[in-house]
Chains A and B, each alone.
Chain A
Amino acid sequence: MHSALVRVQNVFGFFTTVAFTVATLIALSTFINPQAPSASIKLRNVQVVRGRPHYYSYKKEEYAHIKFDLDTDLFELFNWNTKQVFLYIKAVYPATKPGLPPSEAIIWDAILPASSAPWHQNHYIHPSPKKSSSAKKTKKAAKQAAESPYPRGILHLENQRPKYQITDISGKLQNRTDVQLELGWNVQPWVGALVWTNWREYGVWQGLKGGKSETFEFPAIGAGKKLDTEKGKEGHRLMAGGEVPVGGDKKG
C-alpha cells in the first residue's frame, strides 16, 4: 500500500469481492420470498387450417389456431430482484409414436416487466377491460392505456387470440387428441439464476396451482372460419418466413 497505484489495485480488488458477495446475497434472498402462484386456462376455440410456412413454399402444412381465456395471479413472482417475467402458453400433445416425448408449441407469450425495469417496446400491455374503455376518452384514459389495468402479474384475458399459429414437424395436426394448454414462465432476476415454472413446493415457494387446461382435440380442417393472430404493438412480430399462412383454398 506504499504507492497510489498499489492502493488503487488493493481497493479495486476488495471491491470486486464485496460486489460479488452482495450479488450472491441478493440472488439468495429471492428464495426466502414466499410465493403462491395460481392460474387458470380455458380453451375458447380451436381451428385447424392448411397453409404455407412462407410465401414461396410449395409445401402445405396444417396450422392450429387456439383462442383461450387466461386468469393469472403471479404477483408474488415480482420481488426486489425480479427484472421481468416471460410468460408463455404452450400447447402440449402426445407424439404420434409411442415412447417419444410429447410435442410442445408456444401459442402466446408476454414479457411482464417489474417496476424496476426500464421501459421497453416489447413489454406486455394488458388490454383494458371492455367496460371502462367506453367511459371516457380523455388524456388520462389515453395515458392509462399504456399501463396495465391490473397489478403486476395479474392477468384477466378473455377470448384471447394466439400470437402464433402452430404446426407440427410432420405438417399434420388435424384430429390429434389429448391436447392440453399449459402455462409456463421464466423469472429473470437482476442477479442470480433464471427460474422456470415450478409445479412442486420448494420451501416457502408453493407450486403453481392450476395453469393447465382440460384436454381437447384439434378438429378437422375447415371447421369454422375467421382467423386472426394478435396484431399491433408488441404482439406483432414480423420475421422473414414468419408471415401469416394463407388459407388452404388459394393456389400454392
Chain B
Amino acid sequence: MADQLLDQVRDAFEGQIDFEGQRLAEMLTTVMLGAAGIFAFLIGFMAQDIKLALYIGLAGTALTFVAIVPPWPFFNKNPEGWLPPHTATSGISIDVDGQKVG
C-alpha cells in the first residue's frame, strides 16, 4: 500500500514521456521560446515600450513551462512496448558482449 502510493508519487514527479514525445517537447521548446523572444522585441519596439517587451517575453516563457514540463497526454501517444516475454519458442536471441543471454 505504501509502496504503491510512493510509486504513484514518483511517477507523477518524474513525469516520463515517450521518445516521440521527447522529440516533440524539444521542438516545442525551441519554437515557443524563440517566438516569444521575437514577438517581445518586435511588439516592444513598435510600441516603444520596454516593459511591454519584458512582460511578453516572461508570459511566453511561463506558457512554455506550462506546455512542456508536465507529462501531458500528447507526449505519450507512442509508448514503447516491452519485449515479449522470453520463452524457448519465441526465437529471439539476445546477445550481450558475445554471450547469449536469451
Contacts and interface: CB of A to CB of B under 8 A. Distances in A.
- Interface SS majority for chain A: helix
A18 B33 contact: yes
Interface string A152-194: 0000000000000000000000000000000000000010000
Interface in B20-53: 21-22, 25-26, 29-30, 33-34, 36-37, 40-41, 44-45, 48-51, 53
A2 B40 contact: no
B82 interface: no
A14 B50 CA distance: 21
Contact of A25 (B30, B41, B70): B41
Nearest to A19: B57
Contact of B68 (A11, A18, A19, A80): A11
B16 interface: yes
B68 to A, nearest CB: 5
A29 interface: yes
B50 A190 contact: yes
B69 A26 contact: no
A37 B36 CA distance: 35
Given A4-B71, A190-B50, A21 B14 contact: no
A2 B76 CA distance: 11
Contact of B36 (A4, A7, A10, A18): A18
Contacts of B71: 4
Contact of B45 (A4, A5, A29): A29
A239 interface: no
B15 interface: yes
Interface string A1-31: 1111101101100110011011001100100
A80 B29 contact: no
A22 B70 CA distance: 27
A25 to B, nearest CB: 5
B15 A3 contact: yes
B50 A8 contact: no
Nearest to B67: A11
Interface in A68-103: 79-81
Contact of A4 (B34, B44, B51, B69): B69
Contacts of B34: 18
Interface of B: 13-17, 21-22, 25-26, 29-30, 33-34, 36-37, 40-41, 44-45, 48-51, 53, 57, 61, 64-65, 68-71
